Chain A
Amino acid sequence: MEIRELTCINCPLGCQLKVTMEGKEVVSVEGNTCRRGDTYARKEVTNPTRIVTSTVKVSGGKVPMINVKTQNDVPKDKIFECVRALKGVTIQAPVRIGDVVVANVAGTGVNIVAAGNVDAA
């Protein structure tokens, strides 16, 4: 039996959640005051994911940097790998929101896409 402690992020209450695990199975969630807390806890201990955002350089654009993000959630333990994959990446202006910057980043099956528009200079 393993007990994991988490803070629920669904509302300002920030319930301190206690999740009891048996191997990879969730046995119980305690400390939550609503259903969302239970759902959050189960996801967070079994498959925590995050959207990762960063920037890459733009060449030939009106501005030097552009906002990029993973198109979907990626596993939490892949966050740094996703950012490292952007090191040295430069994209050519013009860039539109949704343009793919890095495909299948860090083997997650998720693309990193542009999250801003940059016109050519």
Chain B
Amino acid sequence: MYDVAIIGAGVTGSAIARELSRYQVKACVIEREEDVCCGTSKANSAIIHAGFDAVPGSVKARVNVKGNEMMDQIAKELDVPFKRNGSIVVCTKDQDPKGLEVLMEKGLANGVKGLQILDREALLAKEPNLADDVVCGLFAPTGGIVCPFHLTMGYAENACMNGVEFFLNTQVDEIVKAGEGWQLKVLRRDQKKEEVIETKVIVNAAGVYADVFNNMVSEHKIHITARKGEYMLLDKTAGSHVSSTIFQLPSAMGKGVLVTPTVHGNLLVGPTAVDIENKEGTNTTLAGLGSLGATAALSVKQVPLNQVITSFAGLRAHEDHDDFIIGEAEDAPGFYNAAGIESPGLSSAPAIGLMVAEMIRDRLGLAENPDFNPIRKGILDPDTLSLEERNELIRKQPAYGNIICRCEMITEGEILDAIHRPLGARSLDGVKRRTRAGMGRCQAGFCSPRTMEILEREVPMSIYEINKNGIGSEFVVGVNKEI
């Protein structure tokens, strides 16, 4: 019997798991996919929002601003790439600059620090590539960029190190009330067998599926719409086109798109916003990708779209009432929602994690875990070492002298680390999200056969089982002349 079972190993579920592991608790995280960070958490703007957008008094406003404040320490503890690059909401000559004042007032009410409205000249000093029509903008120095994969993996690995169990490839099919607690009927997708997990408390952090689980146990039905956002990611040669995150003042035409550097030095343009029926609909579209360039040009000029290295789509879990639903379901004691976590979910994760963990602590009367270790070391980036240190590392572990991904200069040593650390990578995408191998300009053209070889050697999987992102995404169908 578990004390807590968390459904969903995205950033929200992982943050809750990690904050819970501060206490003496028997907890598990149940994830349908083969890895953590496979849903909304992996495909978003990778932005730490300042917090001026949410309606004052909303849950969103509270956790966004608090999460933003916590991010420096979390990034340090979990060794996550994070940078406060500042953000600017720009207003063009056809727009009413009052919109910026409204945002500023909301920000002040939410407790966002350092907000300033700047004129064109002051903006250009910061961002020379702003579009010619930009007249003024709201500058937020606390805005930041983060690696969403490492934030999620950092939380999950740290939770795992501190005793939380993870069931990957495990799909929750049914939730049944059982006495004071719950029974979760699950399908272990890798073993193709059904099991029952018993727990006192459930946390529903299931992203776009959070409504499904809530509605299994509660009469307070919620409805979550998958809101698709399409993005284009540009080569690092375009990464310094802007240094802050450039938002657009919402207009009758929509919320606009952002143009931002990523914490790894690429340039990101997006997202579109289209509500869709299919909760698995992470496909990009001709129309969506086609619209990004023109929309981006409203705020930033000459975005070098010929430098696109990949495009992707993410699904935001938009709840009908436009706020996060965090807390115990009124009519289902012991069932906690962390639902409707759309943007700014990444920014809010640290605060949501803390908030839900404290609710559960109080309910179950959990004692502190004296062995809790808040530190997770990320994958060593040899680029951060001096020449002597690097050579010493290669002497001890020659794999660090062997470049596998030539675009991002990722060594075999880093890939081995990614495979053998807690909740290690079992797929090419898993390796990619942990190390960036395959994330560069050739998009794994050169390194995928070599990474497949390493995985086959290091994990108990045959070459036919080596996959891109889980069961059903295998690469090799047979040997020559025998398919």
Interface residues of A (CB under 8 A from B): 54-55, 83-84, 86-88
Which residue of A has the minimal Cβ distance to B481? Answer: A87
- In order of increasing CB-CB distance, the 3 nearest A-B pairs are A87-B481, A55-B480, A86-B481
Please, which residues of chain B bring their CB within 8 A of the CB of A54?
Answer: 480
Is B173 interfacial (CB 8 A cutoff)? no
The DSSP consensus for interface residues of chain A is mixed
Q: A84 CA to B480 CA in the complex, in Å?
A: 11
**Listed A/B pairs (8) with beta-carbon separation below 8 Å:** A54-B480, A55-B480, A83-B481, A84-B481, A86-B481, A87-B481, A87-B482, A88-B481
Within 424-483 of B, Cβ neighbours of A (below 8 Å) are at: 480-482
**Which of the four size classes fits the interface of chain B?**
under 10
Which residue of B has the minimal Cβ distance to A83? Answer: B481
Q: A87 CA to B480 CA in the complex, in Å?
A: 8
Please, which residues of chain B bring their CB within 8 A of the CB of A55?
Answer: 480
Q: A86 CA to B481 CA in the complex, in Å?
A: 8
Min CB gap A19→B, angstroms:
34
Within 362-382 of B, Cβ neighbours of A (below 8 Å) are at: none
Q: A84 CA to B482 CA in the complex, in Å?
A: 10
Please, which residues of chain A bring their CB within 8 A of the CB of B481?
Answer: 83-84, 86-88
Q: A84-B481, A87-B482 given; name 6 further pairs at CB < 8 Å.
A: A54-B480, A55-B480, A83-B481, A86-B481, A87-B481, A88-B481
Which residue of A has the minimal Cβ distance to B482? Answer: A87
Min CB gap A45→B, angstroms:
30
Which residue of B has the minimal Cβ distance to A65? Answer: B480
Please, which residues of chain B bring their CB within 8 A of the CB of A88?
Answer: 481
Min CB gap B481→A, angstroms:
4
Within 315-357 of B, Cβ neighbours of A (below 8 Å) are at: none
Q: A88 CA to B482 CA in the complex, in Å?
A: 9
Which residue of A has the minimal Cβ distance to B479? Answer: A57
Min CB gap A22→B, angstroms:
40
